[in-house]
Amino acid sequence: MSACYAIFNADDFGYSAGINRGICEAHDKGVVTSTTMIVNGRAVREAVRLSRALPTLSVGLHVNFTNEAQCFVDLEDPAAVRGELRSQFSRYLDLMGALPTHLDSHQHIHRDGRVRPFFEELADEHGLPLRDRPPVVFKGGFYGQWEYGVSDPTKVSLQALERILRNELTEGVYEMSCHPGFVDPDFECVYHKDREWELETLCDPRLPAILSDAGIRVIGYRQLPAINALLAEAARGAAAPERVA
């Protein structure tokens, strides 16, 4: 039987107090096992404090070059890109006192060919998983704005999530990207009310049964090395020739 694992990773930890609160609730009462922290976010120190009380929550680094689509790093300047990336990584180490469990970026800036090599360099240097790299398959379809600025709660309903889980996750390890949170009246961002819809779905009491029925085990990034070892061992066993008696 094929093994299938899902990591529910909540982006934007530290971005605002409402987002922090939503991520913690999605971990305590829902399926979120991992998060990635914005070290230059307005509520990052609160996020650090909250993470201390959540030892089972994997915390990675959510590199932020853009805030709300306003890029503050010259992507044409390799030295500036590498410098800011390393600066945010060092900031994480100072705040958390340990390596991040994984790396990704705000608004997927690490996919840009001008900056991707620097992210891969950093990930390889410390042996860290980087979003969009094997063996973890990234799934970003659970999102409330398939058209920028146009919110659709049906895109983050339990039914929408179930379709992704049953139809797109077959075997191996997947990262289910999510953005739970609560609305902060004094915090402006494009993806805002949508976060509360996501939170409701991620904490839906019917979701664990759906995952179990689909044969999907939920893990965190901290467990990834052990799971990768199990999958590699299983692959070797499947590839071994049968012995003839």
pLDDT tens, 73-111? 999 999 999 999 999 999 999 999 999 999 999 999 999
187 located within any domain: yes
Cβ atoms of 120 and 130 closer than 8 Å:
yes
63 located within any domain: yes
The total number of structural domains that make up the chain? 1
244 located within any domain: no
Predicted pLDDT of residue 245: 44
105: containing domain: 4-238
243 located within any domain: no
224 located within any domain: yes
Name the pTM for this structure: 0.93
State what percent of residues in the chain have pLDDT above 90: 88
Q: Which run of H or E residues covers position 61? A: strand 58-63
Report which residue type is found at 57: L
182 located within any domain: yes
| Residue 41 belongs to domain with CATH number | 3.20.20.370
The predicted-structure confidence for 182-236, as pLDDT tens digits, reads as follows 999 989 889 999 999 999 999 999 999 999 999 999 999 999 999 999 888 877 7
- C-alpha atoms less than 13 angstroms from C-alpha of 7 in its C-beta half-sphere: 30
153 located within any domain: yes
105 located within any domain: yes
